[in-house]
Amino acid sequence: MANHNTGSQSTAAFLRRTLVYLKPYRLLAATNILFSLLTIGFYFAFPQITQQIIDEAIEGKNIALLYPSVLVLLGAFLLCGISNSLRIIVNTRFGQQVIYDMRCEVYRKLQLLPVRYFDNRASGDIMTRVIEDVAAVHRVLVDGFERAATSLLSIVVIFVILLFKNVTLTMLALLPLTLSIAGAFWYTLTARSRYREQRKAIGDMNALLMDNLQGIRQIKTFVRQEHESRRFAAQAGELRRSTVNVMNVWALYSPAMTFAGSLGMVLVLWAGGPMVAEGKMSMGELVGFIFYLTLFYEPVGRIDGLNQMLQSARAAYDRVFDILDTEEEKPWSSASATLETPVRGEVRYEQVSFSYREGLPVLKHITLSAKPGETIAIAGPTGSGKTTLVNLLAAFYKPSSGRITIDGEDIACLHPDTLRNQISIVSQEPFLFNGTLRENILYGRPGASEEDMLKAARDANCHAFINSMPEGYASLVGERGVKLSTGEKQRISIARALLKNAPVLILDEATASVDTETEQLIQDALQRLMKNRTCFVIAHRLKTIRNADMILVMHHGEITERGSHRELMERDGIYAKLCMIGDAGLDD
């Protein structure tokens, strides 16, 4: 699933894949580079004018020449500032466009990944990928692009100017560059693993943070604040350690490269001094040369900095492309099929087996069939595989063998969206989105009319409690619906399913018990929801089970008993025992 090959991908492959994101913005990129070049170009006037001032105004003792030169210099600096300002504006627009595109693409893709992908990853880590890692990739793309283009160009231009001014000194100045190149190679080869560690540390820290924020009530009730603070400190420490590690190497590398540049400066002074003394070169020429030399080493240094960004981005890129490279959900079988609408809701399981992990079967040879409109109740001890059984129907996981059909079509041949459009799920732990009650109910069928929405709310017995809230249907439910009681959340999720009005219903009854009055309201709502649909009900309450057309009793992933309530009671097996002791919530 995760593509670990990216680990061995070269910088070239990285560039090839990421530059695609810049393509639509060629014009912005070109404008960006134009302003960068103008910024640098105006600055280039500085050494030349300085040379003139020294040679003509100062050495030539002609102070009158000073003023126009200074004015020109002032103008050049002003233009330099203006074009730099424009450069920043264009660069930001360019950068934000690219990051926006990539972020949206990563998010869109993320939603298409199979449930299994999310089972194996922490939400906080995935968040880090979408937010920070995308930004890190973009930074090198956009800034790097600008830096590389302008640096290379200015290196070439200044090199020509330097050659023009003095060939011997230019050759001397180039010597230390060999050191820089060797250093850059070494840095590139070793930097990757350090940056990876750092990015992983950020992901892990965010994962812990997110988990703890969701569990803040548990932390408080178990009075584990100290313990959690220590755990967080350990993760944050890991990030500190890896960042310090990255920067320590940089702290050696970067000044070493600057030193190589300074070495060139020393060489030029050492050889240039005598040239001025012997009259082969004017004072102003030497000073001008040295100024140009600093302008030469500066982009060389920037390319080194770019290398650092590039290595950091490659580590981030692996994490972003792990999402983009994971295969999205699609029909498991190559033989594609569609469902004829309206779907009648006939469901069959044929010898279905399944395991989350190799060698640990959770479902074994499940065979069952439900005619349209029938209610199948599933009972059994906790962990016996009830939720897993119904999750397979929604194609959240792929059976390891056997097949499931709906109206005779193998679900392996259906697109998951086609299938799920026909299924409503009221899950064991109702989940609401952080929005208004109206939005949460409309989630069942966006665009439904106000009357339909209100009818669903009434049928689900939530209209009364919603109306009693100060803001009614516009009340916010809080993250995951924290501002509502469990019984209220359950009824909202029933309303949502009523509005969706799918021919197949999966009802994973909540184990949490509610007071008898609420219980009655929920049962009532469920009766309406279950009418005229094929229902799979994981029942913890005897009332829901009694009227089922068929009751399946699961034990260790197998169906051990099946029949109506009466038949099973007569059989006096596990079911009868469960009913008697009121286990699995089967209290009457």
Ligand X SMILES: Nc1ncnc2c1ncn2[C@@H]1O[C@H](COP(=O)(O)OP(=O)(O)OP(=O)(O)O)[C@@H](O)[C@H]1O
Cβ atoms of 307 and 186 closer than 8 Å: no
Least Å from the CB of residue 385 to Mg ion: 9
3-state secondary structure of 76: helix
Within 10 Å of residue 199's Cβ, how many Cβ atoms?
25
Task: Tell me which stretch binds Mg ion (CB under 5 A): 106-114, 200-208, 383-391, 522-530.
Answer: 383-391
Residue 326 as a binder of Mg ion (CB under 5 A): the answer is no
Query: Which of ligand X, Mg ion, none lies near 405, with the C-beta cut-off 5 to 8 A by kind?
Result: none
Nearer to ligand X among residue 356 and residue 433 (C-beta): 356
Among 208, 362, 394, 553, binds ligand X (CB under 6 A): 362
Binding pattern for the stretch 386-425 against Mg ion, x by CB under 5 A and - elsewhere: -x--------------------------------------
Q: What is the rounded radius of gyration, in angstroms, for the C-alpha atoms of the chain?
A: 35
**CA distance readout (Å), 538 to 523, 570, 584:** 14, 22, 11
Residue 274 as a binder of ligand X (CB under 6 A): the answer is no
Q: Which residue has the tokens 């939005």?
A: 439
Whole-number Å distance between alpha carbons of 579 and 376 = 17
Q: Write out the two tokens for 486.
A: 């469990």
- Identity of the amino acid at 481: G
Count helices and strands (H / E) in the chain.
20, 10
Task: Tell me which stretch binds ligand X (CB under 6 A): 179-187, 235-243, 340-348, 376-384.
Answer: 376-384
Nearer to Mg ion among residue 135 and residue 542 (C-beta): 542
Residue 188 as a binder of Mg ion (CB under 5 A): the answer is no
Residue 523 as a binder of ligand X (CB under 6 A): the answer is no
Task: Tell me which stretch binds ligand X (CB under 6 A): 171-179, 267-275, 283-291, 379-387.
Answer: 379-387
Least Å from the CB of residue 554 to ligand X: 7
Residues 6+ apart with CB under 8 A from 419: 339, 394, 395, 406, 411
Least Å from the CB of residue 575 to ligand X: 15
Binding pattern for the stretch 386-425 against ligand X, x by CB under 6 A and - elsewhere: xxx-------------------------------------
Strand order in the sheet with 504-508: 423-426, 504-508, 534-538, 375-379, 550-555, 558-563
Residue 427 as a binder of Mg ion (CB under 5 A): the answer is no
Q: Write out the two tokens for 530.
A: 């279950």
**CA distance readout (Å), 521 to 417, 461, 467, 525, 538:** 32, 6, 16, 6, 18
Query: Which of Mg ion, ligand X, none lies near 362, with the C-beta cut-off 5 to 8 A by kind?
Result: ligand X
Whole-number Å distance between alpha carbons of 252 and 194 = 15
Determine the size of the site formed for ligand X (CB under 6 A): 11
Among 382, 467, 485, 547, binds ligand X (CB under 6 A): 382
Residues 106-145 that bind ligand X (CB under 6 A): 119
